[in-house]
Structure 1
């Protein structure tokens, strides 16, 4: 830690002190440090392995666009070290959703959806700039666009079904292959990559995003799906009131239509959203199922309240049964529910605490003590 602080101070041209560990992850160390002038900055240092190097590149290139996150003050490619402006101790969207104030949670969700939609829309013309930034800060690793995880997940999902002793329904591979990147080629938009609730800060100036490790361009539908299913790849997963889920999706759609006018067509929008739900349901199953089979576990090590893996999986599979146009995929969901989830003695996934009628005070951690996001538990 002393070495990180010294190197970060040298980058800024002033000494840093009083580091506070903000959690980080296996890929990175994140510190809040006081500056010699009395202010504070965030220092993030990345490990030396392929995934950490790619995370450094994504974070630095994404922040360099200056579209949504904290200001990037300095970066050192050799040390995989960067210094950001400190956005302060403000509540996250997770704090609001897991709290007891439904009005605050609703405002936070609407601000989140509008903010992500504006980000996707205003970034459309800057894709080449991001590619150049990736090359400049690169660690010799491909971007997420060059190595699309959505397509890689197809074979992995089929292998997982076999591993579980299940036979994939005829046509499943063709359906998943046809879904592809859920429209990423036609409707790309920038995303920090991890827009889960605890990476969305509700500041006096509005929504600010943190964690750009997986930054890049992907289908706007994949981001919009976070409204419908909500928070597709995250640990903070509960059910939203149906009318509110529809409103936040409409907020996002309203913003992206400014750049992609044809997405105002209802049939086209619904088709893209269905593809995104397929993509994220497959991804969630791949991330959680192997850990959920032997025994259940919570979706986050420290945050409370939090659902369990089995609750989330069963909810995702059940929700996917509503899809039309993907008969093999929905048959697969029924197979997973009947063969694997039938014996799971867990309650149904409830609504977010903030929207539960008569909800009492919750033991919710604040931004000061939040740990690293651990979507897989």
Structure 2
């Protein structure tokens, strides 16, 4: 086993800890590969890859193997076990990759799982190479390339939903086998549980946001607007339109390959309402920390690309009015949830920038008002417009979320 230390500063304690973490990941990968294939496999030139989750992520080259393995592999090692009552990101990710690896190759929208071990908490997956992420495309200078990547992302999301819509029992069985829990529980957080049939976060958020809006912004929530949000929360937990979701629908969690966009990072992967995912086409990357805006018409084109992939599975969504009603409910819930999560963290913010979270909230509520008015829901439209105006007065004025650099 050889570790590439070129990216570390071994004069620091932190660098030494990183090297130990990389070495542990590679050793675990060699062990699980040997068990999987029945012969020693040597990995060299290991380099740590950037990641925001709890796993140590490493790319390593296969130096010697009697088997036809890819030239390089990606290792995800979860050295720490979850706390009591917490969801296990290793189990979520391993079950997710197992679910997709069991599909025909044409139906996979992620790398192939080559080996895993629950005891060592390690995954070895196919290396898709140094392809750019969707984030790279959005932050580049080529608007056409960014648009193409976004449409590919929407189509891949639709294919993911189409291929997993009937596999909830399979996923839950895989998760239980790995020691994970097949359902979220109260308090798991909306970013991980929206659309989960037993997660109560949407209901809690819809109950608490009106008070938060009143106390923070002086906006009163009408009973019809409150009822619409509660209805949306209940619908997100229904048995309809369920499919697998990566949950963290962030642009840096996707690789743009020659075969289309491929999803990475299933640490919170689960089965939930696909309409919750589809809402992220209208409110792009809403849960991503640095989400920016897309140009006019882009979200509509993404929704159309997604619908083209799922209409055969869910024929009702081929009807424009039916789809629009579902998307408005999902968008409403997503905007309420993200506001409930973010607004309490913004108490000290004054005169926010156009790339800030306050600007994102203003734009999301403003667009929700436009969509609700277009769909004939005057109560939701009026409430959303009032919240947008109050947010702009509090953090602006004149706030509007900036476009991703590729579209400026």
Q: TM-score, normalised by structure 1?
A: 0.83
Q: Looking at CA atoms only, which structure, 1 or 2, has the larger radius of gyration?
A: 2
* TM-superposition CA deviations, 1:93-148 (whole Å, max 9, x none): 11111111122112111111111111111212222211211211233573443533
How much has 1:272 moved relative to structure 2? 0.2
Q: Describe how 1:250-289 pairs up with structure 2 within 5 A.
A: 250-289=304-343
2:231 is aligned, of 162, 178, 184, to 178
Structure 1 CA distance for aligned equivalents of residues 326 and 360 of structure 2: 23
SS of equivalent to 1:36 = strand
Find the counterpart in structure 2 of residue 154 from structure 1: 206
**What pairs with 1:1-377 in structure 2 (closer than 5 Å)?**
1=21, 2-13=23-34, 14-25=41-52, 27-37=54-64, 39-46=71-78, 47-50=80-83, 53-66=87-100, 67-140=108-181, 142-143=183-184, 144=193, 145-148=196-199, 149-158=201-210, 160-161=212-213, 164=216, 166=218, 168-171=220-223, 172-180=225-233, 182-183=235-236, 184-295=238-349, 307-322=355-370, 323-324=372-373, 329-345=380-396, 347-356=399-408
Distance 1:327 1:210 in 2: 39
Question: d(CA) in 1 for partners of 2:60 and 2:306?
Answer: 35
Please tell me whether the aligned partners of residues 182 and 221 of structure 1 are also in contact (alpha carbons under 8 angstroms).
no
5+ unaligned residues in a row in structure 1: which ranges? 300-305, 357-377
In 2, Cα distance between the equivalents of 1:141 and 1:12? 27
The aligned length equals: 350
Distance 1:115 1:326, change over 3 A: same
C-alpha distance in 1, partners of 2:220/2:32? 54
Distance 1:140 1:344, change over 3 A: closer
What is the TM-score normalised by the length of structure 2? 0.77
1:15/1:298 CA distance change after superposition, 3 Å: farther
**Greater mean deviation of Cα atoms: 237-246 or 184-193:** 237-246
Higher deviation after alignment, 83-92 or 132-141: 132-141
- SS of the equivalent of 2:154 reads helix
Measured after TM superposition, the shift of residue 36 of structure 1 is 2.7
Q: Who is 1:360 aligned against?
A: none
Determine the C-alpha separation between the residues in 2 that align with 1:28 and 1:330.
42
Distance in 2 separating the partners of 1:238 and 1:310: 11
- What's the Cα RMSD here? 2.8
Deviation readout 1:45-77 (Å, 9 max, x if unpaired): 233224874322221111111232111122222
CA contact (8 A) 1:73 1:84 kept: yes
Q: Matched residues in 2 for 1:293 and 1:175: separation?
A: 27
Quote the offset at 1:35 in angstroms: 2.8
1:8 and 1:218, CA in 2 relative to 1: closer, same or farther beyond 3 A? same
Pair 286,80 (structure 1): closer, same or farther in 2 beyond 3 Å: farther
Residue pair 1:34, 1:40 contacting (<8 A) in 2 also: yes
> 2: distance between equivalents of 1:228 and 1:249?
7
Change (3 A) 1:286 1:78: farther
In structure 1, distance between residues paired with 2:122 and 2:234: 31
Cα distance in structure 2, aligned partners of 1:267 and 1:76 = 47
The answer to which of 58-67 and 224-233 deviates more is 224-233
Q: Quick one: distance in 2 between partners of 1:84 and 1:247?
A: 32
Seen in structure 2, the aligned counterparts of structure 1 residues 39 and 181 have a Cα distance that, compared at 3 Å, is: farther
Name structure 2 gaps, 5 residues minimum: 1-20, 35-40, 65-69, 101-107, 185-192
CA contact (8 A) 1:169 1:328 kept: no
Asked if 2 retains the 8 angstrom alpha-carbon contact of 1:297 and 1:309, the reply is no
CA distance in 2, matches of 1:119, 1:26: 22
CA contact (8 A) 2:362 2:391 kept: no
Contact kept? 1:42, 1:86, Cα under 8 Å: yes
SS class of match (1:341): helix
Q: Which has the higher contact order (CA 8 A, sep 6+)?
A: 1
Q: 1:271 Cα shift? A: 0.5
